[in-house]
């Protein structure tokens, strides 16, 4: 069987965005699945917009997502010669011709057609010029582009797309498209096809927005006498208003980088993204890497575009709720030692990291992370909500303070008493702490909940969290005692 070779060819005009990442993921999965080769090819022929910085950002994004490639990155600009040679070959074989029509002339014709509400196609003015005519124009120094001589007459280009099935484009609906600019540089339709031929690409998996290019490229393949690859066009990712997502319209919200900064786990993003336009017939949605590679197939790709439910200005979700839910799922279920490096990175960035967390406090650190992770949504939460566990200074939520502490005036005395009892404990474990606090509640004839919630707030500044006894054990005796003793000051501040 022929070796599968696929490619991901981003144009380096910005950061890697969700749509591009999705394309890369599908190609990567297909390569993994078939033990094939994934090639990264930077399509940088648009010198105006391409930047080196962008190349770095895209590769960086791919690496972060865990998408590995086998060849490249190749740079399209390095192969200009191949493109020119292909054009030359087509010129010699008569599949293309030089067109001397100027921008102005074409624009005028387009405009006229628009006025008549007519469909505009290049009218073929230069298609049938004689060799003498062409020679003459060239001698005069007239600039020309090279156009493809699309077959005229009935029929069309027929091909089978792995996703959309058999598609036909009539010749009459394809104009004599330009393949080389008047400055001699090749256009995407040409260079992309030539590169795919050189790279021996067997499967072109790309966005549905390229569906219209496909017949043209097939014509080029055929004119060059090359074997066609298989095509698979994947549906596009739209925003909630059904517009194609773009860096330009949505800014950072659609950049892979954004999700990294907001505390996404790369695999959670990959898992979410792959589901945007692909599914299995069973009900599985969570896949490990191996499971996903195993389950992936071109047949499972959907035909309809999907909406990436980005939330702008939503207080509750900063992006698609399903993406967040998936991230939270991985956060609380992934092997702890895989999560730890992310937590460490967050704490370091927030200035909360202490080397002992990886040293003599390692066991404590691990069990604490394990304790708190189940209610977190992103790795950012470890540095925000996790602050009371890793630092001495943490925010106290005003509303929570009122509800759990100030509302019960007696806590002003009870909390320090609790501090005393806890301080006296020989060993500070969830069990011993529970005994002490429940015992105190009985003694004071008060519902344990009042002491528990009061203590939680005094110790963490929060109203929610893991079971209190575990929380106290995690925060540690010394800090718990200190924080409980400070409780009266909250009342004083109010007076």
Q: Which residues are catalytic?
A: 247
Question: Which run of H or of E encompasses 328?
Answer: helix 321-333
Looking at the Cβ atoms of 32 and 453, the one nearer to RNA is 453
Q: Is 38 helix (H, G, I), strand (E, B) or coil?
A: strand
Please tell me whether residue 466 binds RNA under the rule CB under 7 A.
Answer: yes
Please tell me whether residue 477 binds RNA under the rule CB under 7 A.
Answer: no
How far is residue 313 from each of residues 253, 273, 318, 319, 386, measured CA to CA in Å? 11, 22, 7, 10, 24
Q: Please name the residues in contact with 236: beta carbons below 8 A apart, sequence gap of 6 or more.
A: 19, 207, 208, 209, 244, 305, 306
Any idea of the CA torsion for 253, 254, 259, 265, to the nearest 10 degrees?
A: 150
Q: How far is the CB of 129 from RNA (least distance, A)?
A: 15
**Window 359-388: residues binding RNA (CB under 7 A):** 374-375
Tell me which residue has tokens 């929570």: 400
Q: Please name the residues in contact with 492: beta carbons below 8 A apart, sequence gap of 6 or more.
A: none
Contact pick of 3, 63, 103, 112 for RNA (by CB under 7 A)? 103
| Sheet containing 37-42, strands listed edge to edge, beginning at the edge strand earlier in sequence | 5-8, 37-42, 71-75
Strand partners, 306: 237
Spatial distance between the Cα atoms of 145 and 55, rounded to a whole number of angstroms: 29
Q: Which stretch in 133-141, 167-175, 358-366, 486-494 sits in contact with RNA by CB under 7 A?
A: 167-175
Strand partners, 206: 233
Looking at the Cβ atoms of 36 and 277, the one nearer to RNA is 277
Please tell me whether residue 291 binds RNA under the rule CB under 7 A.
Answer: no
Q: Which stretch in 29-37, 280-288, 355-363, 485-493 sits in contact with RNA by CB under 7 A?
A: 280-288
Q: Give the x-and-dash track for 141-160 against RNA (CB under 7 A).
A: --x-x---------------
- State both tokens at 323: 């993406």
Q: How far is the CB of 355 from RNA (least distance, A)?
A: 30
Contact pick of 91, 167, 340, 352 for RNA (by CB under 7 A)? 167
Please tell me whether residue 68 binds RNA under the rule CB under 7 A.
Answer: no
Contact pick of 164, 258, 353, 389 for RNA (by CB under 7 A)? 164
Contact pick of 188, 258, 264, 287 for RNA (by CB under 7 A)? 188
Looking at the Cβ atoms of 35 and 248, the one nearer to RNA is 248
Q: Which stretch in 85-93, 218-226, 254-262, 444-452 sits in contact with RNA by CB under 7 A?
A: 444-452
Looking at the Cβ atoms of 3 and 107, the one nearer to RNA is 107
Please tell me whether residue 37 binds RNA under the rule CB under 7 A.
Answer: no
Q: Which stretch in 39-47, 67-75, 83-91, 413-421 sits in contact with RNA by CB under 7 A?
A: 39-47
Looking at the Cβ atoms of 273 and 481, the one nearer to RNA is 273
Please tell me whether residue 285 binds RNA under the rule CB under 7 A.
Answer: yes
**Window 207-226: residues binding RNA (CB under 7 A):** 208-213
CB atoms within 10 A of CB 226: 15
Assess contact for 3 and 37: CB atoms under 8 A. Answer: yes
- State both tokens at 300: 């499972």
Exposure of 290 in the CB half-sphere (CA atoms within 13 A): 0
Please tell me whether residue 271 binds RNA under the rule CB under 7 A.
Answer: no
Please tell me whether residue 322 binds RNA under the rule CB under 7 A.
Answer: yes
Please tell me whether residue 408 binds RNA under the rule CB under 7 A.
Answer: no
Please tell me whether residue 468 binds RNA under the rule CB under 7 A.
Answer: yes
Assess contact for 41 and 62: CB atoms under 8 A. Answer: no
Looking at the Cβ atoms of 223 and 326, the one nearer to RNA is 326
Please tell me whether residue 320 binds RNA under the rule CB under 7 A.
Answer: yes
CB atoms within 10 A of CB 92: 9
Tell me which residue has tokens 């400070």: 486
């Amino acid at each position: 069987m022929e070796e599968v070779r696929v490619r991901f060819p981003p144009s380096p005009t910005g950061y890697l965005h969700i749509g591009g990442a999705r394309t890369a993921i599908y190609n990567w999965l297909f390569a993994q699945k078939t033990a094939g080769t994934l090639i990264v090819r930077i399509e940088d022929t648009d010198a105006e917009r391409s930047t080196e910085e962008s190349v770095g950002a895209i590769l960086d994004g791919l690496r972060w997502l865990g998408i590995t490639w086998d060849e490249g990155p190749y740079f399209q600009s390095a192969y200009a010669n191949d493109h020119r040679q292909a054009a030359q070959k087509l010129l010699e074989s008569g599949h293309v011709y030089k067109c001397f029509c100027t921008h102005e002339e074409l624009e005028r014709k387009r405009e006229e057609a628009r006025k008549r509400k007519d469909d505009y196609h290049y009218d073929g003015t230069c298609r049938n010029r004689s060799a003498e005519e062409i020679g003459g124009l060239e001698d005069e120094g007239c600039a020309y582009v090279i156009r493809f001589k699309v077959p005229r007459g009935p029929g069309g280009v027929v091909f089978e797309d792995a996703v959309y099935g058999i598609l036909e484009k009539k010749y009459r609906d394809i104009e004599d498209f330009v393949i080389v600019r008047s400055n001699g540089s090749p256009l995407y339709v040409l260079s992309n096809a030539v590169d795919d031929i050189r790279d021996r690409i067997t499967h072109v998996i790309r966005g549905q927005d390229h569906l219209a290019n496909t017949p043209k490229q097939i014509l080029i393949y055929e004119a060059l006498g090359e074997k066609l690859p298989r095509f698979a066009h994947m549906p596009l990712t739209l925003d909630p208003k059904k517009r194609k997502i773009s860096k330009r319209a949505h800014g950072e919200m659609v950049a892979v980088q954004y999700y990294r900064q907001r505390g996404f786990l790369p695999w959670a993003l990959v898992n979410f993204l792959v589901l945007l336009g692909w599914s299995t017939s069973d009900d599985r949605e969570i896949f490990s890497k191996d499971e996903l590679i195993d389950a992936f197939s071109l047949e499972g790709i959907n035909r309809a575009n999907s909406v990436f439910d980005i939330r702008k200005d939503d207080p509750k979700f900063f992006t698609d709720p399903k993406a967040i839910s998936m991230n939270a799922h991985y956060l609380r279920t992934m092997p702890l030692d895989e999560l730890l490096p992310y937590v460490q990175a967050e704490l370091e960035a927030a200035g909360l990291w202490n080397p002992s967390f990886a040293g003599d406090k390692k066991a404590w650190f691990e069990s604490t992370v394990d304790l708190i992770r189940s209610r977190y949504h992103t790795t950012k939460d470890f540095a925000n909500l996790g602050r009371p566990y890793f630092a001495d200074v943490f925010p106290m939520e005003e509303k929570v303070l009122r509800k759990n502490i100030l509302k019960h005036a007696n806590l002003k005395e009870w909390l320090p008493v609790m501090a005393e009892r806890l301080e006296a404990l020989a060993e500070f474990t969830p069990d011993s702490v529970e005994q002490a606090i429940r015992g105190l509640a009985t003694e004071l004839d008060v519902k344990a909940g009042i002491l528990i919630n009061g203590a939680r707030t005094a110790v963490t500044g929060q109203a929610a969290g893991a079971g209190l006894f575990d929380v106290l054990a995690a925060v540690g005796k010394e800090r718990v005692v200190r924080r409980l003793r400070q409780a009266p000051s909250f009342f004083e501040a109010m007076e």
